[in-house]
Amino acid sequence: MKRQIIDTIERYSTIIIHRHVRPDPDAFGSQVGLKKLIEANYPGKTVHAAGSDDGQLAFLASQDAVTDDMYSGALVIVTDTANTDRIDGQDYGKGDFLVKIDHHPNVDPYGDVLWVDTDASSCSEMIFGLYAEGREYKGWTMPDEAARLLFAGIVGDTGRFMYPSATGTTFEVASELIKHDFDRQQIFAGMYEVERSMLNLQGYVYQNFQMDENGAAYIKLPTDILQQFGVRPEETSSLVSSLGDVKGICAWLIFVEEPDQIRVRLRSKKVVINELAADYGGGGHPLAAGASVHSWDEADEVISRLKAMCAQHK
Ligand SMILES: [Mn+2]
């Protein structure tokens, strides 16, 4: 499989590499790490990293301006992305040949060639495996910048080697990577910054949520607050559980302003909330649901209805 991918890479002069939306360090690490690897070993090839940039992960890598016309006759490789819906840049199908390299369960087997290894800690670890094969097969070398990116991807997906997904192979790969010249502390510091901004926003939620005497609670997170904490709307999904251990809480709403709507996340300990969500274009489970509103007035309406529900339950 790895040799087949290497042979495929050798056949194309233009290679475009995609990864998933809302990039994490492994998405960038595998995508741009592979790009640097190909560029170093095939200086005649043109390799592009497709997708949007990410402010918080700018210290890792940036993306290339990729246009429609570049896809004709190109090889497209997608890393770290289980299903096509999640590919950042929906032009991925416009190339001549599509390769999927991923470590998530193969729920959506897209591509002409698929290499999926769910035992790998990260897609970056797989890219190292591709390099190791290339080293033996074609004398590939590893540039320091590729090593830096692959190391960052592994660190990201293993929670700094803390998760059980970090295997003996993962540590062997890491020990190879750190022989290269790059700033490990900068990677750890950059990732710590990302975590810290989330924790700060979580603190804000704890300090500012409103709750009435019946345990109906809510917090509004408008754009200016999100920007103040440097957190993007799509990164807030983990916040909703943070109010779960508030004493006396009945049910709660987290409103997150997005460019074209206000997303509502509903959670409950006592009342059924998915019917309320359904009235606002959403749905879900009896105690966990989501919906959308289009103004803060409409948000207040949902709050009133939740308050009435908790009052009645009491
Ligand atoms: Mn990954």
> What distance in angstroms lies between residue 282's CA and the mean position of ligand 1's atoms?
29
> What distance in angstroms lies between residue 172's CA and the mean position of ligand 1's atoms?
18
CA distances for 131 relative to 27, 126, 127, 221, 283, angstroms: 17, 9, 6, 44, 45
> What distance in angstroms lies between residue 98's CA and the mean position of ligand 1's atoms?
19
> What distance in angstroms lies between residue 191's CA and the mean position of ligand 1's atoms?
15
> What distance in angstroms lies between residue 242's CA and the mean position of ligand 1's atoms?
25
Strand 251-257 relative to strand 262-268: parallel, antiparallel, unpaired? antiparallel
> What distance in angstroms lies between residue 161's CA and the mean position of ligand 1's atoms?
13
CATH label of the domain that carries residue 59: 3.90.1640.10
Q: What is the mean pLDDT of residues 207-221?
A: 96
**DSSP string computed for 95-163:** SSEEEEEESS--SS--SSEEEE-TTSS-HHHHHHHHHHHHHHHH-----HHHHHHHHHHHHHHTTTTTS
Do both 139 and 255 map to the same domain? no
Do both 168 and 221 map to the same domain? no
Do both 207 and 309 map to the same domain? yes
> What distance in angstroms lies between residue 103's CA and the mean position of ligand 1's atoms?
7
> What distance in angstroms lies between residue 157's CA and the mean position of ligand 1's atoms?
6
- Report how many domains make up the chain: 2
Do both 157 and 204 map to the same domain? no
Q: What is the mean pLDDT of residues 247-270?
A: 95
CA distances for 56 relative to 110, 130, 163, 195, angstroms: 30, 28, 23, 10
Do both 163 and 256 map to the same domain? no
- At 179-201, the pLDDT tens digits run 999 999 999 999 888 888 889 99
> What distance in angstroms lies between residue 110's CA and the mean position of ligand 1's atoms?
17
* 180 or 236: which leads in pLDDT: 180
Do both 244 and 170 map to the same domain? no
The runs of H, that is alpha helices, within the chain are 2-11, 25-41, 123-138, 144-157, 168-177, 184-208, 223-229, 274-278, 296-313
Do both 168 and 233 map to the same domain? no
CATH label of the domain that carries residue 229: 3.10.310.30
Tell me the whole-structure pTM to 2 decimals.
0.79
> What distance in angstroms lies between residue 256's CA and the mean position of ligand 1's atoms?
26
Do both 185 and 129 map to the same domain? yes
Range of the domain at 234: 199-313
- At 13-50, the pLDDT tens digits run 999 999 998 888 999 999 999 999 999 999 999 999 99
**Residue 254: pLDDT above 80?**
yes
Do both 224 and 301 map to the same domain? yes
**Quick one: pLDDT at residue 56?**
80
> What distance in angstroms lies between residue 254's CA and the mean position of ligand 1's atoms?
28
